[in-house]
Amino acid sequence: MKKLICFLVVILACTQVALSQSREVKVLKANWKFQKGDFEAAHKVNFNDSKWESVTVPHDWAIYGPFDKNVDIQKVAIVQNGETIATEKTGRTGALPHIGTAWYRNTFNLPKDVKGKKIILLFEGAMSEPQIYLNGKKVGEWAYGYSYFYFDVSQFIQEGANTLSVKLTNKEFASRWYPGAGLYRNVSVIIKNNESIDQWGQFIKTPFISEELAKVNIKTKVSGENTRLVTTIFDAEGHKLNSSESTIQFGKEFDQNIKVVKPKLWSPETPYLYKAVSQLYVGNELKDENTTVFGIREIKYEANKGFSLNGKSTKFKGVCLHHDLGPLGVAVNKAALRRQMTILKDMGCNAIRSSHNMPSFEQLELADEMGFLFLAESFDEWAKPKVENGYHRFFEEYAEKDIVNLVQATRNHPSIVMWSSGNEVPDQWGEEGVKRAKWLQEIFHREDPTRPVTVGMDQVKATIESGFGALLDIPGLNYRVHLYDEAYKKFPQGFILGSETASTVSSRGIYKFPVVQEKMKQYPDFQSSSYDLEACSWSNVPDEDFVLQDDKPWVIGEFVWTGFDYLGEPTPYDESWPSRSSYFGINDLAGLPKDRYYLYRSRWNTKEPTLHILPHWNWEGREGEITPVFVYTNYNSAELFINGKSMGVQKKNKNTPQNRYRLMWMDVKYEPGKVKVVAFDDNGKAVAEQEVRTAGKPCQIVLNADRKTITANGEDISFVTVSVVDKNGIPCPTATNQLKFKVTGAGTYRAACNGDATSLEMFNKDTMKLFSGKLVVLVKSTITAGDIKLEVNGAGLKSGKLTLNALK
């Protein structure tokens, strides 16, 4: 009998209130001083940093460029890509100046009664190898740039002013993609009593869920003697539901069970969240208070059945995401993350894999709130290296500590439904790798027995032979579609996860002829065709994965590589220059959807119609030549018209994977004018239509904001899509005009991005060329409320103007 894996859990999203009567959390965003370079005395309190740059944190020092092919030239054979001969790679880590040492300094004030308090210094991400000094004394260090970590700095603090200094070092050949540089996530000082709830010391789960009630089990580790804990649960509307008071500890841990009547279950469709408030007392004196948002849900993984959520069979319709946010670099920004996830939600995506590192707290909070299943990953390397200065240098000393921090910091998020201990690690070969996989998985189980563990495996044959794949809770296959059936037969789990799929490459709005399916295809302009038929040597086009998802009930879903383009890893042009960002994204680096977005939407978004035509219809010089037309739609048939003349009706069929999921008119000859498609329902009734027209010369700049009202907090961002139309208002899909941006009022210009992987224009400059007729401008709020005015100009074009509003 095949192994049954069943995990039930109710989880909470660990979101701490910034200020309560008993504790204070100071997020150190402002007043930072920054300087790149190594300064021997920079950790000293009296060090003169007056000439250093003033920055806010989160901060990525490398994103401001310039792009330079000499930043990280690597002569290497990428084993994961099947390469056996070393070649020169450029742009592999984004060609941005992330290598070197830099210092950050901040002076913050603590209240007069701080002596005798417990002071925690929390870092959510520091790239990389941070060394931390407080008031001139070293308080600790870490290694992994993606890890969250904290120190108890009570012995180092003083009343009044305190000087924090952070040294960061990025080595060359330390990453396979753009890692960023700097304090790219939040830094916080937590002030609380000695009698308090431990950092990440609370774990909530539910051993029982029914329609009538849920049993919420809350284990809380605390410090201090003679304490009692009162925990109260509130619903989403703020109504008090139930509470529990405990005075008995089991090994410095309270164990409470609280009933929730008629629980509303968390899911991607209904991400309902509760709130738990835990108060720690000594006698009648409140010593600490912790507020957490949580969701109730049940997960199961069963042989031959797959994954179920709250008793409902569910497939992962997921994407992989690297941690950079395009023109913002790796500096975390919640508005940028929300925009990404809103785009994914509209596509019908229900899951995200953090690749190949720990996710940000902000991303997990949004996943809980917006309804995304989450695969939280840890490492891209174990003990065997992929790159010269990768994580293998730290594995033996830090792997357990990094996993413990990952799990304890995030295990209370309802969105997380599995962990990953690694991605395509070279340790897949040999006995030592099997032992490492078992050791890491057992650490995850010890810290969180409620969720399974996977590894993204690309060496499937090797893991079948060695037993590596058999010991995992969830066997994750990266590509290898031809080995799914064999893996299912030989692995004991009874299901397979597509932990990384597709790796199709395309450039938004770029189309190449003739239209044929190819691998590792290269063109003189260093772009890839948006007909979505080009993939890498090790990978495949989306349709081949769709077949597996639809026809194999034991395939529990997929995580596509990738949801958005990212900086670095410009395959298939990693030996070419200029080329400094990926082509894998369903959306480009600016967050603009490629045609492939609509292919996935037509299959994943089952609630709304999709009807999308490609290519554009501006092909001067191709008159009379074969120019195939594809339609991505969730309707099964449609009729195509060119200037009113029918090109016939196409119906989806199972002749090939492409015919099953796309409507394709392969013999269309180009003539300027109008392309129209009319879609039919299953009864043959015309129910929807879409058209594309040939545009004239660019005439007018058009601005379209994702949000016209933003928050005046100095962090919020409106993403404004900039395009041009002709005199009749028809979009110009091939426009490459150079544009200039100006922001006035209660906002600032933050960055721009056009999605072109070959562009060397810097994101922070106030000018950029359109790519395939579009780009995106990022307008950031200040801390002042009021109107924000954006004006975009270009030679020979009517200006585009837009007013945004920033509210307190």
Tell me which residues are annotated as active site.
Answer: 424, 500
DSSP secondary structure letters along 669-712: B--SSEEEEEEE-TTS-EEEEEEEE---S--EEEEEES-SEEES
On whether the CB atoms of residues 559 and 549 are closer than 8 A, the answer is no
Q: What tokens appear for 65 in the block?
A: 């460029």
| Coil, helix or strand at residue 320 | strand
Q: CA triplet 166, 169, 171: central angle to 5 degrees?
A: 170
The type of residue at 251 is: G
Instruction: Tell me the Ramachandran region of residue 745: left when phi exceeds 0, alpha when psi lies from -120 to 50, beta otherwise.
Output: left
Least Cα distance to 571 among 228, 142, 229, 177 occurs for 177
DSSP secondary structure letters along 606-626: -SS--EEEES-S--TT-TTSB
In 464-619, the DSSP E strands lie at 474-478, 496-502, 518-519, 534-535, 555-561, 611-614
Q: What tokens appear for 614 in the block?
A: 């490609």
Q: What tokens appear for 144 in the block?
A: 């992994």
On whether the CB atoms of residues 281 and 287 are closer than 8 A, the answer is yes
On whether the CB atoms of residues 456 and 421 are closer than 8 A, the answer is no
On whether the CB atoms of residues 165 and 33 are closer than 8 A, the answer is no
Q: Name, in order, each residue with C-beta under 8 angstroms of 67's C-beta and a sequence gap of 6 or more.
A: 94, 95, 96, 578, 580, 760, 762
Q: What is the rounded distance in angstroms from the CA atom of residue 740 to the CA atom of residue 767?
A: 4
Taking the C-alpha atoms of 431, 437, 438 and 441 in order, what is their torsion angle to the nearest 10 degrees? 180
| Coil, helix or strand at residue 429 | coil
The type of residue at 425 is: V
Q: Looking at 97-226, list the stretches that DSSP marks H as alpha helix, in order from N- to C-terminal side.
A: none
On whether the CB atoms of residues 454 and 472 are closer than 8 A, the answer is yes
Q: Name, in order, each residue with C-beta under 8 angstroms of 517's C-beta and a sequence gap of 6 or more.
A: 533, 534, 541, 658
Q: What is the rounded distance in angstroms from the CA atom of residue 85 to the CA atom of residue 78?
A: 9
Q: What is the rounded distance in angstroms from the CA atom of residue 807 to the CA atom of residue 801?
A: 20
On whether the CB atoms of residues 535 and 475 are closer than 8 A, the answer is no
End-to-end CA distance of the chain: 60
Q: Count CA within 13 A, CB hemisphere, residue 732.
A: 24
Q: What is the rounded distance in angstroms from the CA atom of residue 798 to the CA atom of residue 122?
A: 50
